[in-house]
Amino acid sequence: MAKIYRTSSHADGSHGMPQFEIRGNKIYRTISHVDGYTSQAQYQIRDDKIYRTASHVDGSAALPQFQIRHRS
Domain boundaries, given as residue ranges, for the chain: 1-72
Cα 63 to chain centroid, rounded = 15
Residue 30, C-beta contacts closer than 8 angstroms, at least 6 positions apart = 3, 17, 18, 19, 20, 21, 37
pLDDT computed for residue 51 by the predictor: 93
pLDDT computed for residue 44 by the predictor: 94
pLDDT computed for residue 37 by the predictor: 87
pLDDT computed for residue 50 by the predictor: 92
Q: Which residues of the chain, if any, have pLDDT below 70?
A: 1, 71-72
